[in-house]
Structure 1
Amino acid sequence: MSALDHLMAFQRQTEALSSVAERLGWDQETVMPRGAVEQRAEEMAAMESVLHERRTDPRIGEWLDAARPRTQTEARAMELIARDFRRASRIPARLAEELARTTSLAQAIWAEARAKDAPQDFLPTLDNVLMLKREEAAALAEGGDLYDALLDDYEPGMTGAAIASLFEAMRPRLVALRDAVLGADRQPQPLTGHFPQETQLRLARACATAFGYDWARGRIDLAVHPFSSGRWQDSRITTRVVETDPFNCLYSTIHEVGHSGYELGIDPDYAFTPLGRGVSMGVHESQSRIYENQMGRSRAFTGWLFERMSDAFGGLNIADADAFYATVNRVTPGFIRTEADEVQYNLHIMMRFDLERDLIAGRLDVRDLPEAWDTRFRDDFGVAVDRPAHGVMQDVHWAVGLFGYFPTYALGNVYAGCLNEALRAAVPDLDASLARGDATPGTEWLRENLQRHGGLMKPARLIEQASGSGIGPEPLLTYLEQKFGCIYGL
């Protein structure tokens, strides 16, 4: 065997073990008995110890030095392995294991504290997570910016300064559009009623099928915080049910199908290699958001959904498909990020981005976080947070150590805006298919132009190639202004 053969065989086993660890995380958030939290934390710590040892194995460096790639694919795989090797080698084994153990425990503590609206039960644990993440960031940054070191895990090559500049450019137009919409004379009617869980889940499965979800390689379960998990031949989705708000379940499902569709759409030849997963979380979010919003909240698809929901629930309080389209896209100053409309969603992300940068930099103490959250939310949205579960306790990300993850949601929206322009030009009859409850012309275009490449290209290059243009917020902002201007008669 050549050095390259040894390297790729070793990496194949590491990828397989990483997938097993991910499945443990899925199990913990869906079906694991509540009493198994401490055992699972030890299991996760043990898995991370094994993975860290493999990722820092000195032989990787030797193989990288000796290997000679024959193709672009092999060269890119080596580049990604080298990147992971350098980053993992900077993190002490003790720290990697302790992070896995602490965040596994923290997830359960967060869920219980959230259910009780008791942030005081969670903040000491969050402080421990933050201290570990700062230590990790310092090891990775090697004197550079701590937040950038963490952000690089989710969006390689991106910096906090670049994200801040992007948000500064987007905010004025988003705020102006929100103010115009909320002040408009035409206001859509809210959906009201009782919507039983089992009926919602049947409709969720129908929506997932409409977006091409492969049930032979996936499944749907309930979770406190919707997510997707897995890749290659096993990518699962979760959703949640609120019996007064079926949109929560249905659009969470479509969103997660976007994530799973990306993973399942990657070239199968890349399985068990670093190319066999989404290249960044911003690109990942571009898929979930374009599935959910540009296609799933379109007039065409909501017309199909209106008929299905009317039949399933024995009628709705909304008069017709046009009114239903407006209701689906109704703009309200709500508390919850995952339930936010397209106009305000990025404003939720901007707030979290600023808060977590301050936490990592030491400008904000964890004990002051609830007050800082509530103050910022009131300033940004004009509404006082009514309870911690609607405020600082709503997201699981910080509990599990995902500092640097939040801005990729907004970056994904920007990417989705660029992709949507190209998709609509390439598939001019897409709305006709969406009106029949068939999103596959759109999902197949995304699979061919983006998803199948996996990690073959760097994030910006992949988006630029798929969209045929440079990356910027203009397509997204124009789409939002046109869509909501029409709905609200602006």
Structure 2
Amino acid sequence: MSAYDDLMAFQRETEALSSVAERLGWDQETVMPRGAVEQRAEELGAMETVLHDRRTDPRIGEWLDAAKPQTEVEQRAVELIARDYDRASRVPSKLASELARQTSLAQGIWAEARLNDTPETFLPTLDAILMLKREEAAHLSGGGDPYDALLDLFEPGAKAAELAALFDAMRPRLVDLREAILGAENQPPALQGTYPHDTQIRLARDCATAFGYDWARGRMDIAVHPFSSGRWQDSRITTRVVETDPFNCIYSTIHETGHSGYEQGIDEDYAFTPLGRGVSMGVHESQSRIYENQLGRGRAFTGWLFQRMGEAFDDLGVADADAFYRIVNRVTPGYIRTESDEVQYNLHVMLRFDLERDLVAGKLSVEDLPEAWNARFLKDFGVAVDRPANGVLQDVHWAVGLFGYFPTYALGNVYAGCLNRALRDALPDLDGALARGDASPATEWLRENLQRHGGLMEPRALIEQASGGEVSPEPLLDYLEEKFGRIYGL
């Protein structure tokens, strides 16, 4: 066998073990007994030790030096393995294992604190994780910006300063649009009533099917914080149910279907290679957000959803499909990022981006985080946080060490805006299919132009190739102003 063949055979086993570790994480957040938290932490810590040892195996360096890739795909695989090898080699094995163990323990501590509104029971754990992440960032950054090093794990090539400038450019138009909407005379009402759990789940499954989710290679479960997990032949989604808010379940499901559909859409030839997964979290979010918003909350698809909900539940108390569309896209001050409307969502992300940069830089202590969160939320949204579960405790990301992840949500929205413009140009009759509950033309276009490529290209290059232009916030902002201007008569 050649050095390249040896490298790829070794990588195949590493990818398989990584999938096993990911499945342990899925199990912990869905069906694992509550009393198994400490055992699972040890299991994940042990798995991370094994994976870290493989990722830093000296033979990888030798194979990389000797490998002679023959094709574009082979060259890209070598580049990605080299990137991962360099990163892993910078982080001590003991630190990698301890991070896996601590973040596994922290999930349960965070969930209990969120349930009981007791941040004081979680903040010491968060402080310990932050110290570990700072240590990891110091190893990865090589004297550069520690936050950039963490951000690069989720969005290769991105820089915090560039994202800050992007967000600063977006914020004025978002704020102006929000203020105009909230000041509009005709405000849609909230959906009223109680919607049984099992019926919501059946309807959510129908929505996932409409967006092309392959149930032979996936499944749906309940989680506190919806997420997707897995790749290739086993890509799973989760959702949550609030019986007074069926949109929570429906749109969480469509969102996670976007993530999981991306993984299911990657070229099968890339399985068990570094190309066989989504190239970045920003690109991943572009898929979940375009499924959820530009497609799922559009007038065509909500017309179909209105009919299906009318059949599934008793009287919705909504006059017609136009009124339903306005209710689905209702803009109202709220605490929860995952439940936020399209107009305000990015403002929620920008808040977290600024706070976590200060945490990593040591400008903000964990002890002062709740107060800083509440003050910033009041400034940005004009509403005082009523309880920690609606504030600093609402997201699991920091508990599991995902510092640098949050900005990819807003970047994903920007990417989705670019893709949506290209998608609509390519498929002028798309709304006809969406009105029948058939999103397949859109998902097939996304699969052909983006999803199938997996990690073949760098994130920005992939988006620019798929959308046919440079990445810019303008398509997203123009779309929001046009859509909500019509809904609210601005």
**TM-score range, shorter-chain basis?**
over 0.9
Partner of 2:74: 74
Is contact 1:378–1:384 with CA below 8 Å preserved after alignment?
Answer: yes
Separation of aligned partners in 2, 1:317 and 1:182? 23
Partner of residue 104, structure 2 = 104
CA offset at residue 54 of structure 1? 0.1
Structure 2 residue runs without a partner (length 5+): none
SS of 1:114's partner is helix
Structure 2 match to 1:145: 145
What do residues 371-412 of structure 1 show as CA deviations (whole Å, max 9, x unaligned)? 000000000000000110000000000000000000000000
CA distance in structure 1 between the aligned counterparts of 2:438 and 2:112, rounded to whole angstroms? 39
Counterpart-to-counterpart distance in 1, 2:160 and 2:199: 43
Write out per-residue CA displacement over residues 96-128 of structure 1, whole angstroms, 9 at most, x where no aligned residue. Answer: 000000000001100011000000000000000
**Residue 173 of structure 2 is aligned to residue 182 of structure 1:** no
Unaligned runs of 5+ in 1: none
Q: Summarize the alignment of residues 325-340 of structure 1 with structure 2, pairs less than 5 Å apart.
A: 325-340=325-340
1:405 corresponds in structure 2 to: 405
SS of corresponding position for 2:204 = helix
In 2, Cα distance between equivalents of 1:206 and 1:268 = 26
Name the amino acid aligned to 2:172. P
Q: Which amino acid aligns with 1:196?
A: P
In structure 2, what is the Cα distance between the partners aligned to 1:175 and 1:94? Answer: 45
Report matched runs for 1:425-440 at 5 Å: 425-440=425-440
Map of 1:48 onto structure 2: 48
Distance of 2:361 and 2:443 partners within structure 1: 40
Q: CA deviation at 1:421?
A: 0.4
- Distance in 2 (alpha carbons) for counterparts of 1:142 and 1:299: 49
Tell me how far apart the structure 2 counterparts of residues 198 and 313 of structure 1 sit (CA, whole Å): 11
Instruction: Give the CA deviation at 1:417.
Output: 0.2
Tell me the residue number matched to 2:392: 392
Which residue of the partner structure matches residue 243 of structure 1? 243
**Are the aligned partners of 1:137 and 1:146 in contact in 2 as well (CA < 8 Å)?**
yes
Deviation at 1:310, TM superposition (A): 1.1
Q: Any residues of structure 2 matched to 1:451-466 within 5 Å, and which?
A: 451-466=451-466
Instruction: Give secondary structure in 1 for the equivalent of 2:368.
Output: helix
Partner deviation per Cα, 1:353-373 (whole Å, 9 max, x = no partner) = 000000000000000000000
Name the structure 2 match of 1:33: 33
Structure 2 distance, partners of 1:360, 1:180, is: 35
Alignment match, 2:15: 15
Whichever residue aligns with residue 420 of structure 1, its letter is N
**Counterparts of 1:326-365 in structure 2 under 5 Å?**
326-365=326-365
**Residue identity opposite 2:143 in structure 1:** G
1:301-341: CA deviations, max 9, x gaps? Answer: 00000011111111102111000000000000100000000
Deviation per residue, 1:104-156 (Å, 9 max, x gap): 00011000110000000000000000000000000000110010000000000
CA distance in 2, matches of 1:166, 1:255: 24
Asked if the contact 1:309–1:315 (Cα under 8 Å) also holds between the matched residues in 2, the reply is no
Q: Do 1:267 and 1:454's aligned partners in 2 also have CA atoms closer than 8 Å?
A: yes
2: CA distance between counterparts of 1:86 and 1:346?
33
Q: Which residue of 2 aligns with 1:472?
A: 472
Provide the rounded CA distance (Å) in 2 between the counterparts of 1:238 and 1:383. 30
- 2:367 partner SS: helix
Q: Which amino acid aligns with 1:223?
A: A
Matches within 5 A, 1:52-63: 52-63=52-63
Q: 1:166 & 1:317 partners in 2: Cα distance?
A: 41
The answer to whether the 8 A contact 1:213-1:261 is kept is yes
Q: Is the 8 A contact 1:189 1:318 kept in 2?
A: no
For 1:210, the equivalent position in structure 2 comes to 210
Equivalent residue letter for 1:156: P
RMSD: 0.4
Letter paired with 2:11: Q
DSSP-derived class of the 1:397 partner: coil
Distance 2:315 2:300 in 1: 20
Measure, in 1, the Cα distance between the counterparts of 2:189 and 2:98: 50
Could you state the TM-score of these two structures normalised by the residue count of structure 1? 1.00
Q: Tell me the distance in 1 between the aligned counterparts of 2:185 and 2:313.
A: 30
1:298 is aligned to 298
CA distance in 1, matches of 2:449, 2:463: 9
Amino acid at match of 2:59: R
CA distance in 1, matches of 2:152, 2:418: 22
Match of residue 378 from structure 1: 378
Q: Which residue of structure 1 lines up, in the alignment, with residue 165 of structure 2?
A: 165
Cα distance in 1, alignment partners of residues 480 and 390 from structure 2: 26
Mapped to 1, the partners of 2:375 and 2:77 lie a distance apart of 46
Q: Distance in 2 between matches of 1:128 and 1:318?
A: 49
| Aligned-partner SS, 1:366 | coil
**Aligned equivalents of 1:190 and 1:105: distance in 2?**
38
**What amino acid is aligned across from residue 31 of structure 2 in structure 1?**
V
Cα distance in 1 between the residues matched to 2:244 and 2:383:
22
Distance 2:310 2:281 in 1: 36
Map of 2:446 onto structure 1: 446
CA distance in 2, matches of 1:151, 1:238: 25
Local SS of the residue matching 2:221: strand
Distance in 2 between residues matched to 1:2 and 1:252, nearest whole Å = 46
Matched residue SS, 1:316: coil
- Range 390-399 or range 305-314, more displaced: 305-314
Q: Which amino acid aligns with 2:327?
A: T
Contact 1:262 1:287 in 2 (8 A): yes
Aligned residues: 490
Partners of 1:206 and 1:262 lie apart in 2 by: 18
Q: 1:249 aligns to what SS in structure 2?
A: helix
C-alpha separation between the residues in 2 aligned to 1:237 and 1:464?
28
Render the CA deviation track for 1:256-302: whole Å, top value 9, x for unaligned. Answer: 00000000000000000000000000000000000000000000000
Name the CA distance, whole Å, in 1 between partners of 2:429 and 2:280. Answer: 30
Cα distance, 1:184 vs. partner? 0.3
Query: What secondary structure is seen at the aligned counterpart in 2 of 1:237?
Result: strand
Between the aligned partners of 1:469 and 1:188, the Cα distance in structure 2 is 36
Hey, what does 1:258 align to over in structure 2? Answer: 258
Q: State the secondary structure of the residue aligned to 1:235.
A: strand
Paired letter, 2:92: P
Secondary structure of the residue aligned to 1:367 is coil
CA contact (8 A) 1:275 1:456 kept: yes
- 5 Å-filtered alignment, 1:186-197, equals 186-197=186-197
Shift of 1:189: 1.5
TM-score normalised per structure 2:
1.00
> Share of identical aligned residues, percent?
79
Structure 2 equivalent of residue 287 of structure 1: 287
Q: 2:56 & 2:462 partners in 1: Cα distance? A: 29
